Amino acid sequence: MSTEARTGTVRLHAEDVEALPWEHLHGVRDAETRVLWRERGSLAGILRLGPGARLDEHVHGDGNHNVYVLSGHCGVGDDVLAAGSYVHVPAGEAHALRAEGPEQCVMLYLYAEEPPR
């Protein structure tokens, strides 16, 4: 199953998702992403951070970042989010993500680029 840009409805069954490759993210140790959908500057995926892994503070200047924690505990700013928690980071707001505790943190994320005005 390709993660290249697609238009229209995209349906991925569990076995399709499992077949997608894990890709190392931004050269960060123990951080991987599995891209589910990508179109132009927007994408959806699963992010897996191993224990102690951290994505340094960064800004998405042209889009909103949405994160839903699937398992483990994820630190966002000064807060720690448990499985079942959600966070929205608006375009232009600096944020960092980190795995908290002794287990990995797995998140569903959506980065939605805002159209030009």
Return the CATH number at 61. Answer: 2.60.120.10
Average pLDDT of the residues of the chain: 88
Domain-located, residue 66: yes
Contact (CB, 8 A) for 68 and 116: no
Q: What is the mean pLDDT of residues 57-65?
A: 85
For position 23, what pLDDT does the model report?
92
Does residue 114 have a pLDDT over 80? no
Residue range(s) defining the domain that contains residue 62: 21-113
Give the strand pairing for 95-100 and 79-82.
unpaired
Report whether 29 contacts 3 (CB < 8 A): no
Residue 6, domain member (yes or no) = no
pTM for this entry: 0.86
Kindly state whether residue 5 falls inside one of the protein's structural domains.
no
